[in-house]
Chain A
Amino acid sequence: MKLIVTGHGNYATGIESTVKLLAGGLAGVSFIDFTGDMDENSLSKKFTEEIKNDDQVVFICDLLGGTPFKEAVKLSMSADKDISVTCGCNVGSIMEVGLQLSAFDGTSKELADKLVSISQNQTKVFEHKSAEPEPDEDGI
C-alpha cells in the first residue's frame, strides 16, 4: 500500500517536513507538490511514475475538486489498480495511518475510510474538562 500526499503549492512537502520532525519519516508515504510551473499533465505523469510499482494506493489531497484531486480521481478510474482518493485529511491521520502502514492488509477504500474518520475525530474545538483519570480496577 502506498500513500500519496498531494496538493497545491508546497502543501505536500510542507506536510513532509512536519512528518519528518515528528517521526523522522514514514515508509510508503510519498509527497507530490503541484506547483505554479506545472500543468495537469505533468502532475498526472508524476502520479503515474510514483505508483508504477504499487497495486494499492490512497491519494491524500488538499482540496475537494482541485487539480491534484481531479487528476488523482482520473488515475483511479483509468489505472488497473486499487486506488482511493481522499481530501481534507489532517496530519494526525497521516501520522497514525502512516506509522501502521506496513501492518495494513485491507483495501485502499478501507484505508481511505480510516484516514477520513481519524481526521474527523481529530478536528475539534478544545473544551475544558477534568483530566483526572480513573484508575483501573485491575492495575494502575
Chain B
Amino acid sequence: MGEPNIVLTRIDNRLVHGQVGVVWTSSTGANLLLVANDDTANDPLQQELMSATAESSGVGIRFWTIEKTINNIHRASARQKIFVVVRTPEDARRLVEGGVPLKNIDIGNMHFSDGKKQVTKYTYMDDKDIADLKACAEKGADVYVQEVPEDKKQPLEEVI
C-alpha cells in the first residue's frame, strides 16, 4: 500500500466543530475525518457529537489515539482522502515524528491560556507550541495559519 493520502491537517482546540466539519471538510474534498486525539479516543460523548457533523457532511470519521494513528495510518486506501484534525502542536509533532506524512499543517483555533501570547487573531502560543510547530516544519511540513479557506495563508515563519 502506498503513502496515505492526507489532504490536510488542522490544529484546532475544538477539534471537529461547525467550521471544521462543514467548511474545511467541504473545501478540502476529504472523505474521511481522522481525529487524532488521546482524550477523544476514550470519550464516547465527544465522539457522538463530532460524528453528527461528519454524518451530515457525508464523510467517514475515526477517533484514534496518536499512537494508533502512527501505527495504522499506512493501511489507508488510496481512495481515502484523509483530513487529520489534532488539538495541539505537540500532537502534530508526535504524528510527524512517528512517520505520519503530514504535508500541510493548518493552524486554526488555538485559544488563550495562561502563559500564551497572541500570535494572530485566533491563535495564542507559548514557547513549546512554537518549538513543536518548528519541528514539524523542519520535517518538511508546510505550516501556516489560516482560519477559514477564504483567508490568506500566513506562513509560520512570518507570524512567530
Contact = CB atoms under 8 A, between A and B. Distances in A.
B141 interface: no
Interface string B10-40: 0000000011001100110000101000000
B47 A139 contact: no
A133 B76 CA distance: 15
Interface stretch (B111-119, B128-136, B142-150): B142-150
A48 interface: no
Contacts of B62: 133, 135, 140
A23 interface: yes
Nearest to B46: A131
A96 B149 contact: no
Interface residues of A, number: 24
B37 to A, nearest CB: 14
A132 interface: yes
B73 to A, nearest CB: 7
B62 to A, nearest CB: 6
Contacts of B26: 96, 99-100
A128 interface: yes
A133 B51 contact: yes
Interface in A89-121: 92, 95-96, 99-100, 121
Contact of B51 (A24, A122, A131, A139): A131
Contact of A24 (B50, B56, B75, B149): B149
Interface of A: 21-25, 92, 95-96, 99-100, 121-122, 126, 128-133, 135-136, 138-140
Q: 5 closest Cβ contacts across the A-B interface?
A: A139-B77, A24-B150, A24-B148, A131-B47, A131-B48
